[in-house]
Structure 1
Amino acid sequence: MKITTVKSSENFKGLVIIPFFEKEESEQAFSFESFRISKNLFSGKKDSQFIVEDKDSDQVFLMVGLGKEPNYKTIKTAFRRLTAKQEHLFEKKVLVRLNEGMGSDFIEAAVSGLLLGTYRLGHYKQTEKGPKNWSKVNISVLSEDKESKKAIEKGQKIAEAQIETFNLVDLPPNKVTPKYLADWAEDAGKKFGFDVKVLDRKKAEKENLKAFLAVGQGSHREPQFIIMKYKSKAAKQHIGLVGKGVTFDTGGLNIKTQGMVQMKCDMGGAATVLGAMQLIADLKLAVNVTAIVPCVENAIDSHSFLPSDVIGSYSGKTIEVIDTDAEGRLILADGLSYLIQNFKPDTVIDFATLTGSAVGTFGYECAALFSKNEALLKNLQQCGESIGERLWPLPMWDEYKTEMDSEIADIKNFHGKPIAGAITAAKFLEYFTDSHTSWAHIDIAGTAFGDSEFAKTKHATAYGVHLLIKLLENL
């Protein structure tokens, strides 16, 4: 799909998309050259549409209602709905005609939505017609906004990174293995301009990444510890990222009794960080970023780590394994320690599909946020609210720390109680941050993968990719 700007709609033939805000006036006129639409038929109400074919001008007018005060997510979803559900209307040429008050943020959201709507889950589905060739569709944007070209370019890049993230999470686990993610990172680094180093099992052993290796020792798939670095000459801050990359989670010997079919999504945090690295480099943001993505498969065989094992970690601290299904925090522990000790970033943020407790608390509309840095908390919340990727803080009180005390080791990986699961997991991770003063943990178990109007089954959301970019732009 090619998206460009135009200065005039004169002599245009084809589909014309016109978004409208709902207005309070008693009479709202929608007048065109050869017809007029009354408010009784279309008023701009949220989630409404009206289609008119004007044979005299050889144009089809698709009017999209956005409501009275649409936010970024509303705009993005409305435009995504068009390409997702009405692809038959999109032929070779399409014109998006924007009205007054629809500025750069509006254009960015609309363009992202149009591109996201082209994504389909049928990666291995064979059909007679085959998928639509969107590369043949040319979309022109008519806008008075002076920054429209920049907004279009940014909207495209955001959507492209999010679609890559969709693919990483939605593809099956026999495709997206730890090695697949490592290869993806290396290819993206070459294409977009960031450095990538990958530690395989032998190299990870030399680095003493013991907790990371323990989780992966039950799988024949080689674990991969991915290290990515992006540098900008204009950078004033160094940001560290960590993403949980469990490509499939059986639960280990504490095998899952339900919901295992969806455990291909347990690398959602890794996908967020990988997608964000693509976008950071693609947008050439003025920041230095070091990202760690520990990738393993938590499988079961005679080599699997055991409940009651005591394992080491990169930090040197010992861990009593209470539950092998609390494995994500183990690889994150090594990822956080390795990042902080070797690269010393100013701010550290990790993303992980970590606990069912986060889902129980917030459902699927909001991620659980943990940090003792109030400025970072507020910045993340404000950035998330502005683009529709909500997150909300839970307490990090030290009273919860004692829940993770172990009699035999420095700490245990699970407190074994059906309470405060997301909080105690965050306190476990905090133990491996060297008391970093600007660290945030984001539990995306409920937001990385879920149901929506755009597919019949649960699917990836790319939650966190745009959130990170928004944060880095506002540091």
Structure 2
Amino acid sequence: MKITIVKDLTHFEGTILIPVFETNAKSLVPIEFHGVSVSSKVFYGKKDSSYSVDKYDCLHLFIGLGKSIDYKSVFTIFRRIITRNKEVLNMKVALVVPDALPADLAEAMFSGMLAGTYDLGHYKKQEQHPLLKPDFELSLLAKEDFVPIAERAFKIANAKLETYRLVDLPPNKVNPEYLAECAVKNGATFGFKVTVLDRDACSNLGLSAFLAVAQGSAREPQFVIMEYTPEKLGKETKHIGLVGKGITFDTGGLNIKTAGMLHMKSDMAGGAAVFGTMRLIADLQLNTKVTAIVPCCENSVDNTSFVPADVIGSYSGHSIEIIDTDAEGRLILADGLSYLIKNFKPDVIVDIATLTGSSVATFGYECGALFTNNEAVSKQLQRAGDSIGERVWPLPLWDAYKPDIESEIADVKNYSGKPVAGAISAAKFLEFFTGNHPAWAHMDVAGVAFGDDEFAKTKHGTAFGVHLLTKFIENL
């Protein structure tokens, strides 16, 4: 994509995108641009509305922003416009950038445009979106140079596009080895080290909880380790650790799911968010050291599957009583957290997972559940999420919930067996494997990583966490 700044559109021929703030349905003053006048009777800038006029060899597409805007609304509006107007976006498009538009909202606008090229029809024969073609030209009518902001926004959008794809592709395509290959490819392209441990290597290291989940599947488990080191690494450089749940399909194991299994290809959305984050922080060349781990496997049903009442080991050396084989995500995260802390010793740790239906019951589809033992980390994650519309909200880690994971036969059990406080007991289980690390946070994103919206008829990946984690790391 070629991006240029232009001062006028005198000789321009193509599609002009014109964002408009809301006026009034009864306004006597029409909206005017480029010699085109639009009466408020047909368009007055209402949020999510649009109006097109073909004049002067140009298609003028007026885009309603509403009365007030924020990052998420701007991103969504432009993603929608690009998605719904594919047929009129020819090889030349001009975007009118409103005067004095803040840099973050300009970023949302550009990022939304590129994200709007996404199409769920991965196995359909269809023409490539015009914006993705190499000779596509985007002209920015602006008083300032927005090209650097646009370039940053496109990096964010490209990381999200890859995350959408990883979550939405079918589980017979996106298996553990596919995710590992994706990590290796991104590492080579964007500049970070990738190490992949197979079943034998994991067994030799004692990643027993991870392997217990994987043992019912014929597919080879992959324990993916990614290490990004900035060019200027000093004593003050912070070291962040990330862990993502990479269950590429979750049947529930022998506690087989009785509903919702169709969507269990999305159970690796937390891991996908970590892959997208690593790509993005390396692409942006952030000055922070980041080590990320994504344990990737399937939770399948077979005569070799682990069973309820099993007692298994873990990398930390603690024994785990299995109460429910469908509480498998916390098992692989436990080994991921233990391995990260012992071998890399990061200053701050964040794990992200589609972990419990309980978090959905609490927050619906509006935000993720946040658990942390560090107030500063909690506030920083909330601020980062609020600024871009990927919200998280804290729930308690009180010791009053500790009995929910106490076992009589093992050091800890993987499920409380209670119909209440499921997200909290899962977080308490993970906390058990952090070794009292002083700055750990867990995000349960089951309700926000895979959902419904106006862009598709079916549920699909949202890439929740990619921008949030990147923003959090960038602002530390």
Same fold (TM over 0.5): yes
Q: CA deviation at 1:82?
A: 1.3
SS of residue matched to 2:455: coil
Once residues 151 and 281 of structure 1 are traced to their aligned partners in structure 2, the CA distance between those partners, rounded to angstroms, is: 17
Q: CA deviation at 1:302?
A: 1.1
Once residues 347 and 258 of structure 2 are traced to their aligned partners in structure 1, the CA distance between those partners, rounded to angstroms, is: 41
Q: Is the 8 A contact 1:4 1:152 kept in 2?
A: no
Q: CA deviation at 1:17?
A: 0.5
Once residues 279 and 286 of structure 1 are traced to their aligned partners in structure 2, the CA distance between those partners, rounded to angstroms, is: 12
Q: Does 1:50 align with 2:51?
A: yes
What residue is the counterpart of 1:125 in the other structure?
124
Once residues 232 and 67 of structure 2 are traced to their aligned partners in structure 1, the CA distance between those partners, rounded to angstroms, is: 40
Once residues 387 and 151 of structure 2 are traced to their aligned partners in structure 1, the CA distance between those partners, rounded to angstroms, is: 19
* 1:367-378 mapped onto 2 (5 Å cutoff): 367-378=368-379
SS of residue matched to 2:350: strand
How many residue pairs were aligned?
470
Once residues 349 and 436 of structure 2 are traced to their aligned partners in structure 1, the CA distance between those partners, rounded to angstroms, is: 11
Q: Runs of 5+ in structure 1 lacking a partner?
A: none
Once residues 131 and 90 of structure 1 are traced to their aligned partners in structure 2, the CA distance between those partners, rounded to angstroms, is: 12
SS of residue matched to 2:435: coil
* 1:397-408 mapped onto 2 (5 Å cutoff): 397-408=398-409
What residue is the counterpart of 2:225 in the other structure?
227
Q: Is the 8 A contact 1:28 1:43 kept in 2?
A: no
What residue is the counterpart of 1:15 in the other structure?
15
Matching residue's letter, 2:303: S
Q: Is the 8 A contact 1:383 1:471 kept in 2?
A: yes
TM-score of the aligned structures, taking structure 1 as reference length: 0.96
* 1:375-454 mapped onto 2 (5 Å cutoff): 375-454=376-455
Deviations 1:157-186 (A, max 9, x none): 000000000111000111111011011100
Which segment drifts farther, 424-433 or 229-238?
229-238
Q: Runs of 5+ in structure 2 lacking a partner?
A: none
4 and 320 in structure 1: CA distance in 2 versus 1, 3 angstrom threshold: farther
* 1:253-272 mapped onto 2 (5 Å cutoff): 253-272=254-273
* 1:113-262 mapped onto 2 (5 Å cutoff): 113-126=112-125, 130-133=127-130, 134-135=132-133, 136-146=135-145, 148-235=146-233, 236-262=237-263
Deviations 1:198-232 (A, max 9, x none): 10001001110000000000101000000000001
What residue is the counterpart of 2:293 in the other structure?
292
Q: Is the 8 A contact 1:358 1:446 kept in 2?
A: yes
Q: CA deviation at 1:100?
A: 1.1
Matching residue's letter, 1:311: I
152 and 132 in structure 1: CA distance in 2 versus 1, 3 angstrom threshold: closer
Q: CA deviation at 1:27?
A: 5.0
Q: CA deviation at 1:26?
A: 5.4
Deviations 1:393-418 (A, max 9, x none): 11111100111100000000001010
Deviations 1:9-49 (A, max 9, x none): 23111111010122479554422354422333322221121
Which segment drifts farther, 129-138 or 152-161?
129-138
Q: Does 1:68 align with 2:30?
A: no
Matching residue's letter, 1:371: T
Once residues 34 and 285 of structure 1 are traced to their aligned partners in structure 2, the CA distance between those partners, rounded to angstroms, is: 44
Q: CA deviation at 1:434?
A: 0.6
418 and 221 in structure 1: CA distance in 2 versus 1, 3 angstrom threshold: same
Matching residue's letter, 1:142: L
Once residues 354 and 143 of structure 1 are traced to their aligned partners in structure 2, the CA distance between those partners, rounded to angstroms, is: 45
Once residues 49 and 140 of structure 1 are traced to their aligned partners in structure 2, the CA distance between those partners, rounded to angstroms, is: 20
Matching residue's letter, 2:224: I
Deviations 1:232-255 (A, max 9, x none): 133520000000000000100111
Q: Is the 8 A contact 2:3 2:147 kept in 1?
A: no
Q: Is the 8 A contact 1:103 1:145 kept in 2?
A: no
Matching residue's letter, 2:260: G
Q: Is the 8 A contact 1:312 1:319 kept in 2?
A: yes
Matching residue's letter, 2:411: D
Q: Is the 8 A contact 1:90 1:137 kept in 2?
A: no
SS of residue matched to 2:66: coil
Once residues 273 and 41 of structure 1 are traced to their aligned partners in structure 2, the CA distance between those partners, rounded to angstroms, is: 45
Q: Does 1:85 align with 2:60?
A: no
Once residues 255 and 114 of structure 1 are traced to their aligned partners in structure 2, the CA distance between those partners, rounded to angstroms, is: 41
Which segment drifts farther, 218-227 or 372-381?
372-381
Once residues 383 and 298 of structure 2 are traced to their aligned partners in structure 1, the CA distance between those partners, rounded to angstroms, is: 35
Q: CA deviation at 1:463?
A: 0.2
33 and 449 in structure 1: CA distance in 2 versus 1, 3 angstrom threshold: closer
60 and 362 in structure 1: CA distance in 2 versus 1, 3 angstrom threshold: same
Q: Is the 8 A contact 2:294 2:336 kept in 1?
A: yes
SS of residue matched to 1:469: helix
Matching residue's letter, 1:209: L
Once residues 6 and 369 of structure 1 are traced to their aligned partners in structure 2, the CA distance between those partners, rounded to angstroms, is: 44
What residue is the counterpart of 1:331 in the other structure?
332
Once residues 188 and 470 of structure 1 are traced to their aligned partners in structure 2, the CA distance between those partners, rounded to angstroms, is: 20
Matching residue's letter, 1:82: I
Q: Is the 8 A contact 1:367 1:390 kept in 2?
A: yes
327 and 32 in structure 1: CA distance in 2 versus 1, 3 angstrom threshold: closer
What residue is the counterpart of 1:95 in the other structure?
94
Which segment drifts farther, 24-33 or 35-44?
24-33
Once residues 106 and 408 of structure 1 are traced to their aligned partners in structure 2, the CA distance between those partners, rounded to angstroms, is: 55
Alpha-carbon RMSD across the aligned residues, in angstroms, is: 1.4
SS of residue matched to 2:195: strand
Matching residue's letter, 2:16: V
Deviations 1:321-346 (A, max 9, x none): 00000000000000000001110100
Once residues 221 and 461 of structure 2 are traced to their aligned partners in structure 1, the CA distance between those partners, rounded to angstroms, is: 23
Once residues 259 and 57 of structure 2 are traced to their aligned partners in structure 1, the CA distance between those partners, rounded to angstroms, is: 55
Q: CA deviation at 1:110?
A: 1.1
Q: CA deviation at 1:382?
A: 1.1
Once residues 343 and 33 of structure 1 are traced to their aligned partners in structure 2, the CA distance between those partners, rounded to angstroms, is: 58
Matching residue's letter, 1:245: G
Q: Is the 8 A contact 2:214 2:299 kept in 1?
A: yes
Once residues 114 and 2 of structure 1 are traced to their aligned partners in structure 2, the CA distance between those partners, rounded to angstroms, is: 14
SS of residue matched to 1:66: strand
SS of residue matched to 1:392: strand
Once residues 392 and 152 of structure 1 are traced to their aligned partners in structure 2, the CA distance between those partners, rounded to angstroms, is: 30
Q: Percent identity over the alignment? A: 57
